Amino acid sequence: MLRLYNTMTRQKEDFIPIKNGKVSMYSCGPTVYNFAHIGNMRTYIFVDSLRRVLHHNGYKLNGVMNITDVGHLESDSDTGEDKMQATAKRENRSPYEIADFYTGVFFDDLKKLNIQTPEHTPKATDYIKEMIEFVKALENKGYAYQTSDGIYFDISKFEDYGKLSKINLDEQIAGARVEVNQEKRNPYDFALWKKAPKEHIMQWQSPWGMGYPGWHIECSALGKKFLGDVFDIHSGGVDHIPIHHENEIAQSEALLEKPAVNYWMHSEFMMVNNGKMSKSLGNTYTVSDLEKMGYDPMDFRYFCLNTHYRKKLNFTFEGLEGAKVARKRLCEQINAHMLSQNNDSIDIEKYYKEFDDAVNDDINIPLALGVLWTALKEPKSKKVYDFGMYADEVLGLRLKECAQEIKEQNQDDNDIPMEIQELAKKRLEAKKSKNYALADELRNNITQQGYNIIDTSQGYKITKS
Ligand code: AMP
Ligand code: ZN
């Protein structure tokens, strides 16, 4: 039985989907005004693990991840400039060009990290009509009011406001800063639609004049559009709990008069040196940055999988280096089992069961990885390799490919005479101790004997010339 931790109830619950054998799931996606950093990627790796575990349990998935290309303001409390517009101005390009470019990089990064693309990845600007309809419906039901700069949701009309984050509104309001927007009825009221000044680049015709949607309405409208009124799972990073998801709940439940989501799931943040990851601190990295430093995206995936999604994960290069070394060993082990005969003395069934129990206990991937490592310690056997392949359907570490690479590498090594391999080893040592003259001399020696040496992220590779 699959059990998932529901942020709404603060406990693990049996997962029972609305429709037998099917899962509908919404995951908040990126705002495409910038490169996604590895902290964002941790959240998407979690979404991928969740999807893979659901699939592992035989469910057919219908997943949505939105691409925010309008309406996400610099502050989550409806102030500041639209992030897309700010970048467009800075880079002197249109917001659509900016969105296309960063969306492309985002999908490339997902591919590199072996994250499966959800079934639907709608971009907000393609669904302005649906968002306007949603806001109109809220207005008709008396939940919205107009100010000089937009249409706002009146949270005093929605009794359950704050139920996800369990905030005490009265206490919060008492301690809050002076409200910037004096026209709002309640400090927690949020924009459903913003009226656009003439110079605002992105704007659409609406019943309230020219304007653009608020960020929160996007997710409520797209969830309804692609998954229907009520769906199974909604996920996002923990930062979304207090504002974005609270607002989504208010909008959707106000319209529907019942909850729209059955399970709320949130992944914890990635930190750097136990602090925040942010551009201004110069400590954000992208997947490409890590590649330039000689890491395979799978090293980063392995690094993330080692910590449960509800725990904070502190990023350090020592940690990533450890993941790189461990993953290489994992691939070597898988390769060794791949090349062996079946060994009947191994009780492999227990590993299958332990693995399933781990992933079904609120997506406990670190524990499941541990089960794989234990199985790999068994005598070399094709059975263990088969179990590794089964596990990798969930882990997504491309274990088959990396075991194959190791096999090919070893075969190449077998074709190279021992003395050439010795010279190459000495050259690597010379390079490490910065004795470049000796390293060059050794390379010349190797070349003269009819072989080439190519430096790689793993060390070097020798080929016949
Ligand atoms: P954004 O593009 O800013 O809307 O963020 C995209 C996703 O990344 C959201 O689901 C955030 O919750 C998540 N996120 C942002 N920063 C981090 C971080 N440091 N660690 C993990 N997830 C993050
Ligand atoms: Zn969202």
What is the per-residue pLDDT across 275-311, written as a single tens digit (0 to 9) for each? 888 777 888 999 999 999 999 999 999 999 999 999 9
Domain check: are 98 and 224 in the same one?
A: yes
DSSP secondary structure, 205-268, as one string: --TTSSEEE-HHHHHHHHHHHHH-SSEEEEEEEGGGIIIIIHHHHHHHHHHHSS-SEEEEEEEP
Q: In the structure, what pLDDT confidence band is assigned to residue 179 with cuts at 50, 70 and 90?
A: low
User: Both tokens of residue 355?
Assistant: 């693995």
CA of 20 to the centre of ligand 1 (A): 32
449-458 tens-digit pLDDT: 999 998 876 6
Is the CB of residue 214 below 6 angstroms from any atom belonging to ligand 1?
no
User: In sequence order, what are the residues at sequence separation of 6 or more whose Cβ sits closer than 8 angstroms to the Cβ of residue 75?
Assistant: none
Nearest CA to ligand 1 atom 8: 40
330-386 tens-digit pLDDT: 999 999 999 999 888 999 999 999 999 999 999 999 999 999 999 999 999 999 999
Domain check: are 195 and 226 in the same one?
A: yes
Q: Do you know the residue count of the chain?
A: 465
Question: Considering all CA atoms of the chain, what is the largest pairwise distance in Å, rounded to the nearest integer?
Answer: 85
387-436 tens-digit pLDDT: 999 999 999 999 999 999 998 888 877 788 888 988 999 998 898 888 99
Q: In the structure, what pLDDT confidence band is assigned to residue 178 with cuts at 50, 70 and 90?
A: low
- What order of strands is seen across the sheet that includes strand 60-65? 60-65, 22-27, 231-237, 261-267
**What value does the mean pLDDT of the chain take?**
93
Lowest mean pLDDT among 367-371, 437-441, 459-463: 459-463
Domain check: are 249 and 361 in the same one?
A: no
Query: Where is the domain boundary, 203, 238, 267?
Result: 267
Domain check: are 231 and 367 in the same one?
A: no
Q: In the structure, what pLDDT confidence band is assigned to residue 76 with cuts at 50, 70 and 90?
A: low
Burial class, 317, CB count within 10 angstroms (exposed 0-12 / middle 13-18 / buried 19+) = exposed
Decide if 295 is inside a domain. no
29-70 tens-digit pLDDT: 999 988 999 999 999 999 999 999 999 999 999 999 999 988
Is the CB of residue 331 below 6 angstroms from any atom belonging to ligand 1?
no
Per-residue pLDDT for 176 more than 70? no
Is the CB of residue 240 below 6 angstroms from any atom belonging to ligand 1?
yes
Query: Where is the domain boundary, 407, 427, 448?
Result: 407
Domain check: are 422 and 376 in the same one?
A: no
Domain check: are 460 and 429 in the same one?
A: yes
Total domains in the chain come to: 3
Q: Which residues surround ligand 2, an ion (CB under 5 A)?
A: 28, 219
CA distance 43 to 304: 10
Decide if 277 is inside a domain. no
User: Which run of H or of E encompasses 462?
Assistant: strand 459-464
Q: Which atom of ligand 1 is least distant from the CA of 237?
A: 12
User: In sequence order, what are the residues at sequence separation of 6 or more whose Cβ sits closer than 8 angstroms to the Cβ of residue 184?
Assistant: 147, 152
Q: What is the pLDDT at residue 368?
A: 98
Decide if 276 is inside a domain. no
396 to each of 45, 56, 113, 220, how far by Cα in Å?
Answer: 10, 12, 9, 30
Decide if 368 is inside a domain. yes
Domain check: are 343 and 422 in the same one?
A: no
Decide if 298 is inside a domain. no
CA distance 218 to 34: 19
95-153 tens-digit pLDDT: 889 899 999 999 999 999 999 999 999 999 999 999 999 999 999 999 999 999 999 99
Burial class, 357, CB count within 10 angstroms (exposed 0-12 / middle 13-18 / buried 19+) = middle
Cα 192–chain centre separation:
27
Coil/strand/helix, residue 22: strand
Radius of gyration of the chain (CA): 26
Query: Where is the domain boundary, 360, 387, 407?
Result: 407
Is the distance from CB of 293 to CB of 456 less than 8 angstroms?
no
Domain check: are 125 and 57 in the same one?
A: yes
Which CATH number is 143's domain given?
3.40.50.620
Domain check: are 115 and 247 in the same one?
A: yes
Q: Which atom of ligand 1 is least distant from the CA of 271?
A: 19
Q: Which atom of ligand 1 is least distant from the CA of 277?
A: 19
User: Both tokens of residue 317?
Assistant: 């290069």
Is the CB of residue 265 below 6 angstroms from any atom belonging to ligand 1?
no
Q: In the structure, what pLDDT confidence band is assigned to residue 459 with cuts at 50, 70 and 90?
A: confident
CA distance 205 to 306: 48
162 to each of 135, 179, 257, 363, how far by Cα in Å?
Answer: 20, 19, 16, 27
CA of 261 to the centre of ligand 2 (A): 13
202 to each of 92, 108, 244, 454, how far by Cα in Å?
Answer: 15, 26, 22, 51
Domain check: are 261 and 185 in the same one?
A: yes
Q: What is the pLDDT at residue 457?
A: 63
Domain check: are 326 and 400 in the same one?
A: yes
Domain check: are 81 and 189 in the same one?
A: yes
Decide if 166 is inside a domain. yes
Decide if 373 is inside a domain. yes
Query: What backbone phi and psi angles, to 5 degrees, belong to 308?
Result: -65, 145
CA of 39 to the centre of ligand 1 (A): 6
Which CATH number is 403's domain given?
1.20.120.1910
Is the distance from CB of 1 to CB of 14 less than 8 angstroms?
yes
Is the CB of residue 43 below 6 angstroms from any atom belonging to ligand 1?
yes
CA of 110 to the centre of ligand 1 (A): 14
Q: What is the domain range of residue 353?
A: 317-407
Ligand 1 mutation pick, 67, 68, 102, 239, max ligand atoms within 8 A of CB: 239
User: Both tokens of residue 194?
Assistant: 């913003």
Q: What is the pLDDT at residue 455?
A: 82
Nearest CA to ligand 1 atom 11: 237
